[in-house]
Chain A
């Protein structure tokens, strides 16, 4: 009886563990199910290979997502150009240079930064960063790709910093000792042995940061201007995949082609971030096994 109860309890907890897998699979399933009508109606070419997104047109509605995908890539790329050097440098500083007192300040700072709601960051993109960008570059308004990139960089910094710091800190001391013993300075040791040794973890952290940037909605929705066209430069207004869903899903009737097309955009987003997370996971795993 006792044993039976113990077994039952164990399976109860196991069920809760498996539930996470079920949730992930059902997200995928529901996205797929709701996108399918869109694919069959629009066709894969009309969806993936066209930049003509004009679902509300009465005569010739277009459902091409190329413009959104490029916008997402552009804003994310800009964010990474800012966040990767800044994030990795900060991580290296925390892990290798800073004294415990400074660490004690920086770590909570990063945690709080991670906790600031994206809608607040987006709000500051409108009221604070936008005017600065408009003034600096002589534009009529500052709601454009570069604004989104800077905000996304801020949003992905905590991920990149904390995971890169883990990667750098977990490089075994023998690497440092060997390098210092050969007469290298601490800087040379950091650049030539510690960072290369922690590289896979750093790359994984950057990928996770990138996944976060691709999936971010509110900041880009508020700060990039949302012009649904192929982006030309970082000073253009862009509309990302996430922003498109956010803007249009609220206005579209359920179970129309437009509705299904938005789920299809969500499916593409889901797959992109899923692959990025998976790859970064594989990189991390390999690196942990080597250690």
Chain B
């Protein structure tokens, strides 16, 4: 076989691999959107489930996911940003810094169900928060921490050195230059990356299975110590645990579509914001 022909075949195989990945995403999105769109209505989004969850909407699941995500954000965004400031602005090369980085990478590899066990042992039982929005949010918050640290550090890295040096040269202290020059430039990037992490946390099921998510609740949660319904757990229930699975399949598709839409919106926004952000500093 000639060199040319071999190259052509080889590159075609690679191209097909890339195409297959696009097709996989295409199938996922097409199936969910085409079968879920008919279910979506204002009633579906704004009403409680009725008749043993065979009718009605997913309002409490949306609200539950929203509440949990707020706690997740309150935990993971500040902690993530602070840790990133240390790593990018203060840390010197050394054992401790390497250890922190290693811990971050390993934390991001801890299986989500193990985080669930951790949440049960620490928050539900240890701290006595019970199965609640608080326990689930704290668990998800710690789980999301590696993402927010990494995203915040990347944002800090895009801020040019001159921002810091200019301020230091004018006699500002290190913290002053970080606060007045570095952070304002980095915050949009930090938040974009962190929100991507939050979207992922909002779609997680395994960590909330035993820390607070409820099969069905006839009312909305009224405190951080209430149990809650959540979109991903609701989809799991409708898909596998319901007594009339084929009857609720459309509702499952609708729930999946709401979840996917959330992910798509957040991702697309992040991609656009990030592109703008990069351009600004390139000039």
Contacts and interface: CB of A to CB of B under 8 A. Distances in A.
A113 B25 contact: yes
A135 interface: no
A217 B17 contact: no
Contact of A250 (B3, B13, B91, B209): B209
Interface string A106-126: 101111110111111111101
Nearest to B270: A111
Interface in A184-200: 185-188, 190-191
B120 interface: yes
Given A120-B235, A187-B10, A254-B125, A249 B86 contact: no
B229 to A, nearest CB: 14
A270 B206 contact: no
A277 B85 CA distance: 25
Interface in B7-40: 7, 10-11, 13-15, 17-18, 20-22, 24-25, 27-28, 31-32
18 contacts: A13-B82, A16-B79, A17-B91, A85-B17, A93-B18, A106-B21, A119-B232, A127-B31, A127-B239, A211-B109, A246-B116, A246-B209, A249-B210, A262-B117, A269-B114, A274-B109, A276-B109, A277-B109
B267 A112 contact: yes
A6 B149 CA distance: 22
Interface residues of A, number: 90
B185 interface: no
Given A16-B79, A23-B142, A92-B14, A273 B206 contact: no
B113 A16 contact: no
Contact of A106 (B22, B118, B252): B22
A208 B110 CA distance: 11
A257 B267 CA distance: 43
A90 B86 CA distance: 36
Interface residues of B, number: 87
B225 interface: no
Contacts of B79: 16, 19
B18 A94 contact: yes
Given A116-B263, A250-B210, A274-B106, A20 B100 contact: yes
B117 A126 contact: no
Contact of A23 (B21, B145, B235, B252): B145
A117 B260 CA distance: 8
B113 A215 contact: yes
Contact of B235 (A5, A108, A119, A188): A119
B267 A17 contact: no
A113 B24 contact: yes
B99 interface: yes
Interface string B151-170: 00000000000000000000
A291 to B, nearest CB: 17
A121 B13 CA distance: 26
A99 to B, nearest CB: 11
Given A94-B18, A126-B239, A281-B102, A187 B7 contact: yes
A26 B115 CA distance: 11
A217 B205 contact: yes
Nearest to B256: A120
A9 B183 CA distance: 15
A12 interface: yes
B28 A186 contact: no
Interface stretch (A27-35, A44-52, A59-67): A27-35
